[in-house]
Structure 1
Amino acid sequence: MPFDILGKALVDYFEGHYDQDIITHSSLEEEDVLPLPYLFRNFKDMPLIEQRALEICYGNILDIGCGSGSHSLWLQEIGLNVTALDSSKGAIEVCQKRGLETTVLSEILEFKQNGYDTLLLLMNGIGIVGQLQKLKDFLNHLKSLMKPNGQILLDSSDIIYMFEIDENDGGHWVPRNVDYYGEVEFQMEYKGEKGPIFDWLYLDYSTLNEYAARCGFKTELLVQGEHYDYLAKLTLT
């Protein structure tokens, strides 16, 4: 089994053993830091996109890629029925210790329970798709989990700004070895140990709208952030 980088870090922080953050390596930049305290933030410290998403959740909610459970906890505290799902064993352990009543340890594509009013994918939650070619199947799977009048709330970022502009035609220089410029390879490192390399998807709103329509969804842009990020709502047409 690959080392559960995220889970190990979350457990350490929760148990009071915080002395290092997660280091991320990606195909976009050599190294960055993911501060562990940020993963345990409360509602008032969340960005506007996350606050807005949480405020419009309703009914039976599935928090996909819940991490430490901060979003689920807020929803539970205001009286909503929320299930926190993550593929990290350590993350689910922390969620349970923080008081979440309903948790599931599973990959989302292996999760089959349906009947949800709100599917929540925050902190660039749609990124777990990994590659654009997998987006259609992913959205169809989400469709199978939700009620006909349900909603999907997700955020992402358009990272085209990270690529140089061609002075001749105004276009952007993007890598030739990827099918879509928002496909990025990531690797997490914690306390000197590295996890497996995995694919992550940053999805611009126009492309999301196009693929969602193919799957029978109507897409609505709810919030545009200050850093090319956005919050979108998908409902069935």
Structure 2
Amino acid sequence: MKKQDKNKQDIDVFGKAIFAYHHHQDETDIIVHSPDFDDDIIPVSVLFRNYEEMPALEKEALNKSYGKVLDVGCGAGSHTLYLQQQKDLDVTGIDISKGAIEICKLRGCKNVKVQDYFNWNAEKYDTLLFMMNGTGIIEKLSNLDRFFEHSKALMTTNGQLLIDSSDLSYLLDPDEDGGIWVDPDQGYYGELEFSISYKGETANKFNWLYLDFPSLELAANKNGFSCELIKKGDHYDYLAKLKVL
């Protein structure tokens, strides 16, 4: 979820890149900027990958999805399309990018909306799906209670929440005993600030949360959810399943 700069309209970077790739096969990368890291890239083709091209965590999440599904941050619609076409599920995809949603419709997604997750309360779902570092939209640890409260309101009695993230503690320097020391005055190490650019245009800065599994589990239990580690990835990433207790 992006923070808006009140002095200017934000740029729909993902929407522009997705539009150009879909219509013109333009493979210009999206550039990711952060004060904490060197610039990185997001190949736009990643947003269009099919099931066989997806990493193991995403495949596992799609395999475990059932019932009525809400695909949060659906991007170009690849997860939505798989669940809709291959599993014949009733899927709603939402994203804050107007351009991305336009392409989702052109690709065949039946039910997609331009919508912020925290403002969406239309229905209840059997599966809430948050992929490609799904915890990112929470932005800050201080927003976890809000996230769980809103998610609980959107879930059916037997509903599940499938979410992936990464533990960034591997980036910290270990002490002589192999542990890590975290400066409490610096905030949680998984709270990052990013901006993204495309073809020379840069969108507003936004906060993004990478959440280690023990912290997710602790917050989930506090808010009345069970939290199960479903699968670990190859690089400190994981998939979790949460259900209301």
When normalised by structure 2's length, the TM-score is 0.93
- Shift, 1:228, TM fit: 0.4
Are the structure 2 counterparts of residues 34 and 198 from structure 1 closer, same or farther at C-alpha, using a change threshold of 3 Å?
same
Distance in 2 between residues matched to 1:82 and 1:136, nearest whole Å: 26
Q: Secondary structure at the match of 1:15?
A: helix
**Unpaired segments of 5 or more residues in structure 2?**
1-8
Q: 98, 102, 110: which one pairs with 2:107? A: 98
Are the structure 2 counterparts of residues 227 and 100 from structure 1 closer, same or farther at C-alpha, using a change threshold of 3 Å?
same
Distance in 2 between residues matched to 1:227 and 1:87, nearest whole Å: 28
Q: Is the 1:87–1:107 Cα contact (8 Å) retained in structure 2?
A: yes
Q: Is the 1:185–1:199 Cα contact (8 Å) retained in structure 2?
A: yes
Pairing 1:61-72 to 2, within 5 Å after superposition:
61-72=69-80
Distance in 2 between residues matched to 1:225 and 1:19, nearest whole Å: 27
Aligned length: 236
- Shift, 1:177, TM fit: 5.4
Q: Secondary structure at the match of 2:24?
A: coil
Identity %: 47
Pairing 1:1-237 to 2, within 5 Å after superposition:
1-78=9-86, 79-167=88-176, 169-172=177-180, 174=182, 178-237=186-245
Q: Secondary structure at the match of 2:204?
A: coil
Distance in 1 between residues matched to 2:127 and 2:27, nearest whole Å: 36
- Shift, 1:122, TM fit: 0.4
When normalised by structure 1's length, the TM-score is 0.96
Partner amino acid for 2:215?
T
Superposed CA RMSD in Å reads: 1.3
Distance in 2 between residues matched to 1:144 and 1:104, nearest whole Å: 19
Q: Secondary structure at the match of 1:150?
A: strand
